[in-house]
Amino acid sequence: MQEQDIVEQPIITKYTLNAEQEKKEILRHYRALLRSLRTKLKKGDKELIRSAFEIAAEAHKTMRRKSGEPYILHPLAVAMICVEEIGLGVRSTICALLHDTVEDTDVTLDDVEREFGTEIAKIVDGLTKISNVIDTNTSQQAENFKKILLTLTDDPRVILIKLADRLHNMRTLDSMKREKQLKISSETVWVYAPLAHRMGLYSIKTEMEDLAMKYLEPEAYKGIAKKLAETRRERSRYINEFIKPLKEKLSAAGFDFEIYGRPKSIHSIWNKIKNKGVAFEEVYDLFAIRVILNSPPEKEKEDCWKVYSMITDEYLPSTERLRDWLSNPKSNGYEALHTTVMGPQGKWVEVQIRSKRMNEIAEKGLAAHYKYKEGNNDEDRFDKWFGQIREVLATQETDSVDFLQDFKTSFLAEDIYVYTPKGDVKMLPKGSSALDFAFSVHSAIGSKCIGAKVNHKLVPISHKLRSGDQIEIITSSKQKPTEDWLNFVVTAKAKTKIKDALREEKRLIADDGKYVLQRKLEGMGAAFTPGNIEEVMHFYKLSSQLDLLYKIAIKSIDLKELNDFQVLGDRLEAPKPKVTHVVDHTTEQKQISKKDSELIIFGESSDKIVYQLAKCCNPIPGDTVFGFVTTGKGLVIHRTNCPNAAQLMANYGHRVVKTKWAKNKEISFLTGLKIIGMDDVGVINKITNVISGEMRINIAALTIESEEGIFRGTVKVFVHDKEELEELVDRLKKLNGIQTVDRFDTEDIK
């Protein structure tokens, strides 16, 4: 079987149809949707879908998308993704057709409920709440996100339809402005792709990541896509050579099966190149071989292991690379057996073995999972996951700005499975500590935890757990949570409980501060009233009364400063503030973004705008960058592929400023390179000769460490722009014995 193509989705860039052609185009999409639903239609369903389509078409009739196409094509496309790619049915199709009507048109939620009933109205309401999630200020965003999650635990179809909506937006992102492309792509990588992964929608997750990369890192994307296309024929030949003996063995054993090679996504190849510091040519798993068995449910596991045995008889396996998700499926329902074997020509090849049912769950995620679960009332891993989310939402503070980040680390990360002393399984996100485990057992156990025994060995509360660990928690009645604990935990439940305990502790201490402030105010002849407390709070630039009273209690505030206040009757009035040079970032922001299309040009000696280069990614002229308005430092410039970029653009889009470099050869910028090669006499001389001698570039620092014939070096240099850096990298790579030269991505260059 041939390797499957990496298909680029069709993207409409220019729309040129007349009214009659448009009508035909809309009807063509509508009929295609009905055809794909054919097997799921019951009596009366067709009429309901027609009614939803007509309401949506009428409501959106004057609206167009940025590409110029009629807006109704968007809900039709979203509905099609729901049916074809996620496996949803008639109710979800109706919701997808109506998903933008309540927010963008005159159609109300009552209209939807009257026409289609409570269930559909509830889902449309959830979709309406979701649509504004990312664009508002951060605390409001966290609030909206909680509403989504409540709807998700109530009816997961809300998130599945939203993922279809986001996927179609990503497929048609070409018509948007550059800054909108960056913002939407960042949100997608930050929230939606991990959510798709957690819902078991692997193909949607990988397509979202690939499309986001196309806009966030266009050069790297095009480079890998080009190399994949160039090496496709060679890969197909290799795949055929690899699977030929396996086909013969499986056929002889009487298996009903499919076997084919599947390319890895561009995004996952790019991650391997970055994380392992290797070139494209050195990434061995550019594809995976997939074996899909048509086995009855009771024989699935047995057959998968039999096939594994046959494959490993033919090719030698790597024992460290066996992944058994048959005995212990992932929390998103994924079941399969993965192994990596040594194929012909000494190449490692990943092989995935699964049944047809497992494959449908891997492709369609949650929807397929529920289809196979019908009639089985056992609480499964999705139910447990929803239960955990409900529990955290019930205890979360409503104004928690950290909510999104906590949610990501708690609920969107890969899971590990650990055991209680009695052998019960607990599911925790990757990176969880013994303290996370203690809080997952019970809040009271978490709060009193002083240590743990992992596999019968004593470990501290910060000990990171691994799948298969058995944990026994050790408690003490004298123990209580401290601020440090927040650094040891990743689960939202643990974070919330620790913060609650610290807040309670703070309240007890703040009671003393309340008494001190009351005495001070009454001594000045002022009353202890909410108005006066607020005046004092503003004077000390604090955001809450609790912080004020706490700081007074621990004596980090000097109340003698209140002597400068005036007392009018029993009311306090703060002294007029002295003029200081504090920059108000809100006014600065207004100046910067007064025109949506304005470009901030920096890098010139005549610059009027004060900016800083971000330490997390050290941009240099030529890098694709954006400006970010911070509270204290004014405008900070980040690379669009900076490790923090996705979070900043997704969560604080309103503070992102479109930015570009101006040509200037007067200023040099500090950047760093990592060099790996064969240790040889004179290697340092060769490197410094290229940098200082040939290219006349100043070296800020150079360190070389050698071990067993391999050297690893870091060099920090001052370059004028990206072109100069790229030329330097090319020249260094041409030196004898140099294996890799990579730019520092996240290290803090001082």
State the Cα–Cα distance between residues 670 and 672, nearest whole angstrom: 7
Concatenate the DSSP letters of all residues of 497-556 into one string. Answer: HHHHHHHHHHHHHHHHHHHHHHHHHHHHT----HHHHHHHHHHTT-S-HHHHHHHHHTT-
Domain with residues 226-373, CATH architecture: 2-Layer Sandwich (3.30)
Of the candidates 448, 438, 443, 444, which has an alpha carbon nearest to the alpha carbon of residue 478? 448
| pLDDT bracket for residue 256 (50, 70, 90) | very high
pLDDT for the residue numbered 632: 65
Question: What contacts 24+ positions apart, CB below 8 Å, involve 591-596?
Answer: 592/627, 592/629, 592/635, 592/657, 593/657, 596/177
* pLDDT over threshold 70, residue 25: yes
CB 385 within 8 A of CB 395: no
Tell me the fold of 669-743. Alpha-Beta Plaits (3.30.70)
Name the average pLDDT for the chain: 78
What are the domain boundaries of the chain? 19-216, 226-373, 500-573, 585-661, 669-743
Cα–chain-centroid distance for residue 267?
Answer: 13
Q: Which residue has the higher pLDDT, 254 or 416?
A: 254
Please state which of the ranges 92-106, 571-585, 637-651 shows the lowest mean pLDDT: 571-585
104 is known as an active-site residue: yes
Which H or E run contains 725? helix 722-733
Reply yes or no on whether the pLDDT at 110 is more than 60: yes
pLDDT digits (tens, 9 = 90+) for 322-331: 888 888 887 7
Question: Can you give the pLDDT at residue 145?
Answer: 59
Separation of alpha carbons 700 and 392, rounded Å:
49
Specify the amino acid at residue 166.
R
Q: Which of 25, 45, 103, 115 is labelled catalytic?
A: 103
- The yes-or-no verdict on residue 608 having pLDDT over 60 is no
Q: Which residues contact 719 (CB under 8 A, 6 or more apart)?
A: 620, 668, 669, 671, 697, 725, 728
The active-site residue out of 104, 380, 402, 607 is 104
More confident residue, 424 or 716: 716
- When pLDDT is cut at 50, 70 and 90, the band that residue 5 belongs to is very low
The token pair that represents 267 in the structure block: 């995004």
623 in Cβ contact with 645 (< 8 Å): no
Q: Average pLDDT, stretch 576-594?
A: 40
605 against 28, higher pLDDT: 28
What confidence category does residue 620 fall into, taking pLDDT thresholds of 50, 70 and 90?
confident
Burial of 449 (0-12, 13-18, 19+ CB in 10 A): buried
pLDDT at residue 665 tops 70: no
Cα gap 229→263, rounded to integer Å: 11
State what percent of residues in the chain have pLDDT above 90. Answer: 11
Thinking of the domain 19-216, which architecture would CATH place it in? Orthogonal Bundle (1.10)
For residues 206 and 204, give the distance between their C-alpha atoms in angstroms, rounded to a whole number.
6
- Match 């196409």 to its residue by tokens: 69
DSSP string, 652-691: -GGGEEEEEE---SS--EEEEEEEEEE--TTHHHHHHIII
What's the pLDDT tens digit per position in 336-378?
999 999 988 888 889 999 999 888 888 777 666 555 554 444 4
